Amino acid sequence: MSEHTVSPRSPADLRGVAVVGSGRALPRTRVSNDDLSALVDTSDDWIRSRTGIGARRLAGPGESVTTMATEAARAALNHAGWDADQLDLIILATSSPDDLFGTAPRVQAALGAHQAVAFDLTAACSGFLFALVTAAQYIRAGSMCRALVIGADQLSRWVDWTDRRTCVLFGDGAGAVVLEACAPDRDDLLAFRLRSDGSRQACLTLAHRERLRDVQGGFTTEEGGFHPIAMNGQEVYKFAVREVPIVLAQVLRDADLEARQVDWLLLHQANQRILDAVAERFSVAPERVLSNLESYGNTSAATIPLMLDEAVRDGRVQPGHLLATSGFGAGLSWGAAVLRWSGPPPSGSATAEPPST
């Protein structure tokens, strides 16, 4: 058992947040659009033209949120050159935990991060961004020095595989970044805004299934269980193309930047048409928009760190580059941030991505 000892408060000259490493992990099984056409009434052409998705990875036996999150975390720690026991904090953003009481402690144990406090955070596809900002606040407050932020989801658990409107969209995976206290004038989180609107929650749900159970002794309780994912795709689409540009414009203004000064647009990977619409709104050229939808689909809380790590490792994102990022999804929840990448330059080192089967 680990006992968290609160780190000594960091001095006021170390209240900035540096983003110093990243990692990712994907399950082995690759499922193509054609594979799904054998399952539901759909086609590769429909899925590609409406979403940009060509395939997705799905977790199989022996793979879970814990295993994917742990692999992504290990890769991020190695990238930064850290030992797990240097961590003060682990936040796991997930909506598909292995244990509703918390999956982050399992990851903490698997990593051997004995000094870290670990907890889950749920904000659907905005989860990674919300977790990143939360971890940054601990560092800025001076109570933590080193944090690991993971986005990991296994929505294949909660997809209705007979519903062609949703089952083609989602994949499983994990991504992670590590954050370190640094001088305030080197702070890599240049601006952020987070938003929620529960009045539109019904657009996208993974809701508790109401089923009553009579308990001997004369009282009635509800039984645990959830409905599969249900989505009003058109409403979610309209929400994203309306709100994401607004919140991105706000963070760019907060950071005193124009869109043309940002190196990369890194949006939650939900739909290529959403990425294209937002890029057009900010006159960002397609080659500056990061997208891996073709390979992995929507991996929920994992999309942003997974995409970041891919672009860091292949050399597109270089130390000092600025990224405008936005997460959006169920809740409804959304937000944006301007980030600088301060991690190591690409080394060509292997990632935690296994070959597909």
Is-catalytic flag, 125?
yes
Q: State the minimum distance, in angstroms, from the CB of residue 248 to ligand ACO.
A: 16
Q: Can residue 204 be called a binding residue for ligand ACO (CB under 6 A)?
A: yes
Determine whether 298 is an active site residue: yes
Question: Residues 263-292: x/- map of binding to ligand ACO (CB under 6 A)?
Answer: -------xx---------------------
The closest alpha carbon to 14, from 188, 135, 132, 142, belongs to 142
Choose the binding region for ligand ACO from 70-78, 235-243, 317-325, 339-347 (rule: CB under 6 A).
235-243
Q: Which stretch binds ligand ACO (CB under 6 A): 20-28, 41-49, 213-221, 339-347?
A: 41-49
> What six digits make up the tokens of 112?
């051997």
Catalytic option among 167, 182, 268, 271: 268
Which range binds ligand ACO by CB under 6 A, 163-171, 190-198, 256-264, 316-324?
Answer: 163-171
- Beta carbon nearer to ligand ACO, 138 or 237: 237
**Helices marked H in the chain — which ranges?**
33-37, 44-51, 65-80, 104-111, 127-141, 164-167, 233-254, 272-281, 293-296, 303-313
Q: Least distance to ligand ACO from the beta carbon of 164, Å?
A: 4
Q: Is 218 exposed, middle or buried (0-12, 13-18, 19+ CB in 10 A)?
A: exposed
Contact assessment for residue 14 and residue 180, using Cβ atoms and an 8 Å cutoff: no
Residue 46 engages ligand ACO in binding (rule: CB under 6 A):
yes
Distance between CA atoms of residues 283 and 260, nearest Å: 8
Cβ–Cβ under 8 Å, residues 135 and 91: yes
Question: With contact defined as beta carbons under 8 Å apart, do 126 and 83 qualify?
Answer: no
Length of the chain: 357
* Residues with catalytic roles: 125, 268, 298
Which residues here bind ligand ACO, judged by CB under 6 A? Answer: 42, 46-47, 50-51, 124-125, 164-165, 168, 204, 233-234, 236-237, 240, 270-271, 298, 300, 329-330
